[in-house]
Structure 1
Amino acid sequence: MPTDMYQLSSQKFSNREILLETVRGMAYSLGFVTVIQKSKKKKNRWVIIGCDHGGSYRTNRSRIPNSGKKKSGTRLMNCPFQICGRMNQGTSWRVEIKYLSHNHNLSSDISGHPYTRRFSREEVNEIKEMIAADIAPRQILTKLRKGNSNLKAISRTLYNVKAKIIKDGLGGRSMIQALMDELGKGGFTYDVECDNEGHVTHLLFSHPSSIELARIYSYTFVMDCTYKINKYKMPLLDIVGVTSFNTSFFCGFAFLFKEEESDYVWALQKFGKILGYDKQPSVIVTDRELALMNAIKVVFPNTCNLLCVWHIEKNILAKCKPFFDDGDEWDVFMSDWTNLIDSSTEDQFNEAWSEIEVKYGKYRDILIYIHNTWFPWKKYFFRAWSSEYMHFGHVSSRAEGSHATLKKYLEVSSGDLRTVKEKICHAVDHQYNEIKTQLSSEKIRIPHDLRIPFLSKLIGHVSHFALRKLLNQFELAYSDSLSPTCIGQFSKTMGLPCAHVMRRMTNEDLKLDTIHYQWRMDNISLSKNGENQDVHGDRIDVLVQELQLKYQQLPLTQKEGIRKQISQFVSPSSPLVLEPMIRQSKTLGTNSRKKKKQSSSTKKDPSGFEMVEKVRRCNMCGNMNHDRRRCPKNTTQNSSMSFMPPILNGLPSPSTSFVVDLNLLPPNSDYNNPS
């Protein structure tokens, strides 16, 4: 052993920390690591320093060799190295040499010792900030290594620190209790429902910023469930709103136990209270989720429910494309289907459908599928009927884009509800700041293409998206392509004057009162990230509104008095609830002992249209764009498919039997009586 350690006994150290750092640095240079074995800071302060190989592994029970041993190891081998640091009667510290020998070889690389991989306090504080900013662990390590070239920490070191930070943040509370406290103290409007054992089955919450935007833009919403969000496998109902700039924002989130009508009714009732009784939505866009559609009729009976055209087209793709061997013929069919959807009147719709029946009569299965599956809902998405409602053009897939945005923040599907809530808050804060900045920018910025006298009174008061829609109508008004008759679809659906109205306006500028409030910016003033909001104000307002609705003779002047009385009974503490039950996935296959490893990916399972869009190769002839069932060499299949019964008036032949799922038909459907 070099004599450097002996020289420590002749030195004096001003405090305990300098002594420890000096000994540790000298040990690093020699190829071992020192740790504190015992310490006493009060009377007769002293510290015993030993090698990290000192001591021996202890177990609570005796183990039979090769029977039930842990698949791990230990670095403890009773190394006798030991020195002692003592504080003199004054303020200085001295070192006493006990034993400097080791019973093991010294390390040429000390990065294998766990102590050397520790982070400093400054680095831990920096890690906390980066974790709060939702920075990935690998990027955190890269940032720390650039600041400290001697950093020996690895990914596992960072994961351990991250787990400790999360545990300290809970403060001894359970995950679900910490979530309830954060929702209650953070200004969220939320509601929770539990089963008989106290486990959470339903949870709806809305960020203060989302509530502010939802009450401003309360006309149109898009609703859809997404999956692979949390480790409990609870579906998440994502409620999306639309701003005057034609951008989306998150309004609220509801974790549901199942996707049944009762679950959706619960979520919509809670969301309706968030909006307020005076701000019920005009239009809600969904996919063909029958339980959700029925719940909308129950909770919002005066709201129009439209179907998402994007989802419908993808269903058509999944069910119909396999029948077409020629890609060009499929493109022509989709073009005809688009023309059918865009039919302006019911007569045009009937004419377009008759042409499709004649043109694609040989594809009997396709016509039956469209007729039985989508025609019962034709008033929900065909333009001839949907144009009667003011949906502001929001009939495409906004929900899918919102799901993708949300999952970029989540990254994994194995998080608990508190972790998911924190990631959601990051996404909501980002959206809110983007919308707030765009609102301020469009109030002071004038695009050059909109500098025309006709729109001069709208600049700074109406969003640029709406102004460009008006500009297109203005150009159409004085073009030769303008239809002589006005059916009023543009004004009914968009809330803006159409080209025919503009053409009748002579030497007049467009006035602000002709623009729907969905596109207006003049009366909107967003707060700073929901600051200065009453934490329990929304819950109290809901209770007051319920009382006023129940007792209609209640004077409005008594609202403040009632509010004070109710606030005394609204407890700021969150309810005592238990964590949701983790649903076990069913094991596939005959061997039940083989359990499928749970994936943490948020990527959704492939949909039917995605499977169809993949390039297909026949396993009989090896050619592309068809399968074994439709292979020309499959003579057995072709002979059975050679006879195609005719179609009469768009309906199957009476002599042909087919199965119709009655659960897919709406109530009071007239398709039980084809005549």
Structure 2
Amino acid sequence: MDFAWKIVKREGHGTHNHSLVVYEEGHRGINGLSPRAKNLIRQMNNAHAKPKVIMPAVQTEYPDDHPNMRHIYNYKDKIRRDANEGRNPAQQFLHLEKEHKYVQWIAVEEGSRAVPHAFVSHPSMVEVLRTYPLVIGMDTTYKTNKYGFPFLEIVGVTPTNQNFLIAYAIMKDETADSYRWVLEKLKMLLGASVSPKEILTDKEPGLLKPVAEVFPNTAHLLCTWHINNDVEARVGKICGNKLNGEYFKNGVWKRIMNATSEAVYNAVVADMEENWSRWSAIMTYVHGTWLKHKEKFVRYETNKVLHFGNRTTCRVESQHSVLKSWLGRSHGALDTVFRKVHAAVENQFIEIKNRLECSRRKHGVKYNGFLFQHLTGRVLHHALHLILEEQKRMWELSVEVYERCGGALLTTHGLPCACTIFTANQCGVGLYIDLIDPFWKTLRIREGANIPQFLEETAQDADHFRVLVDEVLNSDVAVIRGISSLIHDELHREHAGHVKPDPNVSRRGRPPNDRNSTTRNLSHVEHVRRSGSRGRVRGRGRGRVHSEARPTGIYSSSSSFSLGTFTSVDHLAGHFKEQIPNLIYPFLCGFNDVDGDGNCGFRCIAHYGYGDEARHREI
């Protein structure tokens, strides 16, 4: 007992040296998560619920745990660390791909184990691609990962008018070599015997040459939406007046884009060169940047391509939006990005199957007419809708249907055009299934028109691989060891010691005020539209000419004409609008209602020249 210790309370010190607990949520010794609360967090985390959503659920179900947000974040982090089992983000990324049987390729930097490029495709989407391989769109988005790498989405189109994510690629940069690497992997995914009818992109400099090299038999179209925006912004900048950019885009440029024949195209280009000759910089820009690629966007050229109505990359932009709604933040690691995209793709695949089954099971009242009697239940609803719209066009063309039809729907969509529908109506037999492109008749995944080619090529590839295996087995044991090592490393990348890439210091799209945001930055044309005053009041009425199409005249910014001294034409009374010739109306910039004292003509001139109609006596 002499060596035992004891506690002695000093006189005058028998009180707490801190205040008692008031809020249990902030006391680490009292609060915490029970096993049931942790299980709920795990389930909601697997469903990709955000912490701000998980917190109310835990608070409602287990109020005695006194949880706070730090508990939620800490336990989510523990779940991730337990799942990684000591693997770094790059190794976990490769492990998850193998676990979910993804088709993937990676590139490894020489001298390091960093992963600068990765191409990833969900196994279900590979099957959808091989069923519907005809249209492929691709575009790059940013603010998706902590490394600042561009995120390339490759998107396909189903006959139900839905998008599907064929694959995505995380690239270190956007050079031609990087795009070529991605396109070669896409070609390997498709196989040598199948080529898309169309690849749709914006005018990314690094993409133009690789697309032509890797897919020489595929039409490469450029997004008309991006083209129009670029033309509007550039012309407005050259003129020093953005309203002139709108006028050019909605006037002569629109006529060039929509030219239905080479003769019409040449005539409109000649008209542009005559009326805009004073702006040599515009002519240089238009010819040097766009018209040399006219076969990629002008309508009479694209009408030769079976593009199924896809002339813009809006589908890919829509896919960007879906992706970022799942990501939720812009600084996820490789494994985090994989898990979020995987969940988005799984959800997308369910929606595709749902829409396909609707076309098989439901016929729709509006498709009950004799015209569709051979098609309902055998052709996708979206195709029937397009035929119905073409039938309306047939009635509009009336007796001139054969002369004015043009057959565009047949060549671009693989569907009966107006004159074919007219003939079917006249004969009273309806449209036969043979008139429909196989794309629209494929109601089951793995049963597309190109599937036999895929199966045949797969068998050939398997036979070729067996020949190689036999050749290796007949070689020296050293050769067997070397090739076995190569195959093992290729099949088990997660064990190869790869590391995450270094952040890209030249990243694009990172906003300075919110480093967690996934929202894209404004494009050039959006900056132009937002900058400065538009010089007019936007009307909300329904005039004969859209306010975006109304020019300021072809005046330079230094002109003495000032729209600020006039009232916007949008506010012109309707009965006055009707008296203005259609040819003149698009060129009006504003109006002024002078006194009607018999000198109105002189007053108009005085107002224009002097800025004061009262000086009309000086005219």
Q: Give the TM-score normalised by structure 1.
A: 0.68
Shift in Å, 1:317:
2.3
User: Per the alignment, in what secondary structure is the counterpart of residue 337 of structure 2?
Assistant: helix
- Give the structure 2 partner of residue 343 of structure 1: 259
- Separation (CA, whole Å) in 2 of partners of 1:344 and 1:599: 47
Task: Specify whether residues 300 and 358 from structure 1 end up closer, same or farther in structure 2 by C-alpha distance, changes over 3 A only.
Answer: same
Is the contact between residue 37 and residue 62 of structure 2 (CA under 8 Å) also seen in structure 1? no
Shift in Å, 1:476:
3.2
Q: Confirm whether residue 352 of structure 1 aligns to residue 268 of structure 2.
A: yes
Q: Confirm whether residue 462 of structure 1 aligns to residue 462 of structure 2.
A: no
The one-letter code matched in structure 1 to 2:529 is E
- Give the structure 2 partner of residue 140 of structure 1: 54
Task: Specify whether residues 452 and 113 from structure 1 end up closer, same or farther in structure 2 by C-alpha distance, changes over 3 A only.
Answer: same
Is the contact between residue 138 and residue 201 of structure 2 (CA under 8 Å) also seen in structure 1? yes
Partner residue of 1:129 out of 23, 43, 49: 43
- Separation (CA, whole Å) in 2 of partners of 1:615 and 1:257: 33
Shift in Å, 1:336:
3.3
What are the residue-to-residue correspondences of 1:249-648 with 2, within 5 Å?
A: 249-322=164-237, 323=239, 325=241, 327=243, 330-331=246-247, 333-397=249-313, 398-481=315-398, 482-485=400-403, 486-505=405-424, 506-524=427-445, 545=461, 548=464, 573-575=492-494, 576-583=496-503, 585=505, 599-617=515-533, 630=557
- Separation (CA, whole Å) in 2 of partners of 1:329 and 1:288: 20
Is the contact between residue 240 and residue 248 of structure 1 (CA under 8 Å) also seen in structure 2? yes
Higher relative helix content: 2
**CA offsets 1:572-604 (integer angstroms, 9 cap, x no match):** 5334142232225379xxxxxxx9788121122
Shift in Å, 1:203:
0.7
User: Per the alignment, in what secondary structure is the counterpart of residue 30 of structure 2?
Assistant: helix
- Give the structure 2 partner of residue 225 of structure 1: 140
Task: Specify whether residues 263 and 107 from structure 1 end up closer, same or farther in structure 2 by C-alpha distance, changes over 3 A only.
Answer: same
Is the contact between residue 235 and residue 245 of structure 2 (CA under 8 Å) also seen in structure 1? no
Task: Specify whether residues 318 and 106 from structure 1 end up closer, same or farther in structure 2 by C-alpha distance, changes over 3 A only.
Answer: same
Is the contact between residue 233 and residue 582 of structure 1 (CA under 8 Å) also seen in structure 2? no
- Separation (CA, whole Å) in 1 of partners of 2:359 and 2:277: 53
Task: Specify whether residues 577 and 543 from structure 1 end up closer, same or farther in structure 2 by C-alpha distance, changes over 3 A only.
Answer: farther
User: Per the alignment, in what secondary structure is the counterpart of residue 316 of structure 1?
Assistant: helix
Is the contact between residue 356 and residue 444 of structure 2 (CA under 8 Å) also seen in structure 1? no
- Separation (CA, whole Å) in 1 of partners of 2:243 and 2:366: 41
- Separation (CA, whole Å) in 1 of partners of 2:335 and 2:460: 30
User: Per the alignment, in what secondary structure is the counterpart of residue 29 of structure 2?
Assistant: helix
The one-letter code matched in structure 1 to 2:89 is M
Task: Specify whether residues 160 and 599 from structure 1 end up closer, same or farther in structure 2 by C-alpha distance, changes over 3 A only.
Answer: same
The one-letter code matched in structure 1 to 2:430 is D
Greater C-alpha radius of gyration: 1
Structure 2: unaligned runs, 5 residues or longer: 1-6, 448-453, 471-482, 539-550, 562-619
User: Per the alignment, in what secondary structure is the counterpart of residue 154 of structure 2?
Assistant: strand
Shift in Å, 1:215:
0.8
- Separation (CA, whole Å) in 2 of partners of 1:499 and 1:623: 42
User: Per the alignment, in what secondary structure is the counterpart of residue 101 of structure 2?
Assistant: coil
Task: Specify whether residues 548 and 422 from structure 1 end up closer, same or farther in structure 2 by C-alpha distance, changes over 3 A only.
Answer: same
- Give the structure 1 partner of residue 25 of structure 2: 111
Partner residue of 1:174 out of 65, 88, 94: 88
- Separation (CA, whole Å) in 2 of partners of 1:108 and 1:380: 70
- Separation (CA, whole Å) in 2 of partners of 1:469 and 1:632: 49
What is the alpha-carbon root mean square deviation over aligned residues? 3.7
Shift in Å, 1:193:
1.1
- Separation (CA, whole Å) in 2 of partners of 1:512 and 1:309: 32
- Separation (CA, whole Å) in 1 of partners of 2:244 and 2:169: 43
Shift in Å, 1:185:
2.2
Q: How many aligned positions are there?
A: 505
- Give the structure 2 partner of residue 183 of structure 1: 97
- Separation (CA, whole Å) in 2 of partners of 1:313 and 1:80: 86
Shift in Å, 1:470:
1.1
User: Per the alignment, in what secondary structure is the counterpart of residue 493 of structure 2?
Assistant: coil
- Separation (CA, whole Å) in 2 of partners of 1:432 and 1:80: 72
**CA offsets 1:383-437 (integer angstroms, 9 cap, x no match):** 1111111111111122211111111111111001111111111111111111111
Shift in Å, 1:607:
1.1
Is the contact between residue 117 and residue 157 of structure 1 (CA under 8 Å) also seen in structure 2? no
- Give the structure 2 partner of residue 66 of structure 1: none
- Separation (CA, whole Å) in 2 of partners of 1:597 and 1:360: 42
- Separation (CA, whole Å) in 1 of partners of 2:193 and 2:292: 32
Shift in Å, 1:116:
2.9
Shift in Å, 1:277:
2.5
Task: Specify whether residues 116 and 359 from structure 1 end up closer, same or farther in structure 2 by C-alpha distance, changes over 3 A only.
Answer: farther
- Separation (CA, whole Å) in 1 of partners of 2:23 and 2:295: 74
The one-letter code matched in structure 2 to 1:600 is N
Shift in Å, 1:108:
3.3
- Separation (CA, whole Å) in 2 of partners of 1:210 and 1:320: 41
Shift in Å, 1:345:
0.3
Task: Specify whether residues 612 and 596 from structure 1 end up closer, same or farther in structure 2 by C-alpha distance, changes over 3 A only.
Answer: closer
- Separation (CA, whole Å) in 2 of partners of 1:252 and 1:484: 43
Shift in Å, 1:484:
3.5
- Separation (CA, whole Å) in 2 of partners of 1:502 and 1:396: 28
Is the contact between residue 324 and residue 330 of structure 1 (CA under 8 Å) also seen in structure 2? no
- Separation (CA, whole Å) in 1 of partners of 2:27 and 2:319: 46
Task: Specify whether residues 484 and 119 from structure 1 end up closer, same or farther in structure 2 by C-alpha distance, changes over 3 A only.
Answer: same
- Give the structure 2 partner of residue 193 of structure 1: 107
- Separation (CA, whole Å) in 2 of partners of 1:151 and 1:378: 67
Task: Specify whether residues 364 and 134 from structure 1 end up closer, same or farther in structure 2 by C-alpha distance, changes over 3 A only.
Answer: same
- Separation (CA, whole Å) in 1 of partners of 2:304 and 2:8: 88
- Separation (CA, whole Å) in 2 of partners of 1:211 and 1:115: 52
User: Per the alignment, in what secondary structure is the counterpart of residue 498 of structure 2?
Assistant: coil
**CA offsets 1:425-462 (integer angstroms, 9 cap, x no match):** 11111111111111111211122111111111110111
What are the residue-to-residue correspondences of 1:53-64 with 2, within 5 Å?
A: none
**CA offsets 1:492-528 (integer angstroms, 9 cap, x no match):** 11111111122233232211122112212345469xx
The one-letter code matched in structure 2 to 1:391 is H
Q: Confirm whether residue 243 of structure 1 aligns to residue 187 of structure 2.
A: no
Task: Specify whether residues 315 and 102 from structure 1 end up closer, same or farther in structure 2 by C-alpha distance, changes over 3 A only.
Answer: same
Task: Specify whether residues 269 and 363 from structure 1 end up closer, same or farther in structure 2 by C-alpha distance, changes over 3 A only.
Answer: same
- Separation (CA, whole Å) in 2 of partners of 1:364 and 1:483: 42
User: Per the alignment, in what secondary structure is the counterpart of residue 116 of structure 2?
Assistant: strand
Structure ranking higher on relative contact order (CA contacts 8 Å, 6+ apart): 2
- Separation (CA, whole Å) in 2 of partners of 1:183 and 1:476: 49
The one-letter code matched in structure 2 to 1:585 is V
User: Per the alignment, in what secondary structure is the counterpart of residue 374 of structure 1?
Assistant: helix
- Separation (CA, whole Å) in 2 of partners of 1:329 and 1:176: 47
